[in-house]
Structure 1
Amino acid sequence: MSGYEILNYLSLLTIGISGLSILAGLFFIKKGRRELHKKSMINASVFALIFVALYVIKNLLFPASKYEGPYRGLFLFVLWSHTALAIINFPLAVITLRYALKGTFDRHRKIAPITAGVWLYVAFTGWLIYFFMQWLNR
């Protein structure tokens, strides 16, 4: 297995754990389990940061590959929306976590559903981009 493949798999793992942690956090807050919700969301944040580090390392070490498959329009839509929302989600996540950690839960409750939705979209489309590049790039 090449270094590129290892970084790809680690990236998929970390963003997957991050997305699943968001889902767990949503489940826990709906059940009133605030401490488990907090732990899940912090876990999601840590794994998202690990993903970003892996992504930067991968792109510094290996040239970007181009999608040449049959669904180019769909791929570009997914890629562009993923990229734009990932950029937007970073400050949203920081603000959402800051509100929660400072105890300003009225503000946290207003922004958290938006942040979670965007985060889940970014995590899912990250996997979808991988699928396009690995399985449909022929």
Structure 2
Amino acid sequence: MSYELLTALSLLTIGGSGILILTGLFLIKKGNRELHKRAMLSASFLALLFLVFYLLKYFMYPPKPYEGPYKGLYLFILISHSILAAINLPLAIVTVFLGLKDKLSKHKKVAPVTAFVWIYVAITGWAIFIFLKLGGNQ
């Protein structure tokens, strides 16, 4: 796969998963548990696809350092993104498991944290892409 295709697939899948998380939040606020469940499982599936595309891209085309003028801001976003992305995987697994097992009182406690982290990671993933694109590294 080409670098451009892997980049496009990564951006589409992580962006789509973030949009589905927001959709799922809206649906549960409206009381639609079944559509909420579908949106969240679809978001999880897209996130897994993202992980596959990201890892392929990372190993096939090792990342280059950011060379733009906002290095401090870029590093803050990159570090916070990386830490929260690592935390989000187990958080997401626990959240999905609790929801599927109908352990809703526990699910309701962890799900807002998971959603916040997930959305942050999705947005900062796009921000990192933009930084690298504008920093002349792609």
Q: TM-score range by the shorter chain?
A: over 0.9
C-alpha distance in structure 2 between counterparts of 1:22 and 1:90, whole Å: 14
Paired position in structure 1 for 2:29: 30
Output the amino acid matched with 2:59.
L
Structure 1 residue 13 displacement after superposition:
0.3
Which digits, 9 at most, give the CA deviation of each residue in 1:6-58, with x for residues without a partner? Answer: 11111000001000000000000000000000000000000000000001100
Counterparts of 1:99-110 in structure 2 under 5 Å? 99-110=98-109
1:96 counterpart = 2:92: no
1:133 counterpart = 2:132: yes
Paired position in structure 2 for 1:62: 61
Paired position in structure 2 for 1:39: 38
C-alpha distance in structure 2 between counterparts of 1:53 and 1:131, whole Å: 21
Paired position in structure 1 for 2:2: 3
1:117 counterpart = 2:116: yes
C-alpha distance in structure 1 between counterparts of 2:133 and 2:5, whole Å: 14
Paired position in structure 2 for 1:84: 83
Give the TM-score normalised by the residue count of structure 2: 0.97
Structure 1 residue 73 displacement after superposition:
0.3
C-alpha distance in structure 2 between counterparts of 1:75 and 1:15, whole Å: 19
4+ runs of 1 displaced by more than 4 Å?
A: none
CA-atom RMSD, angstroms?
1.1
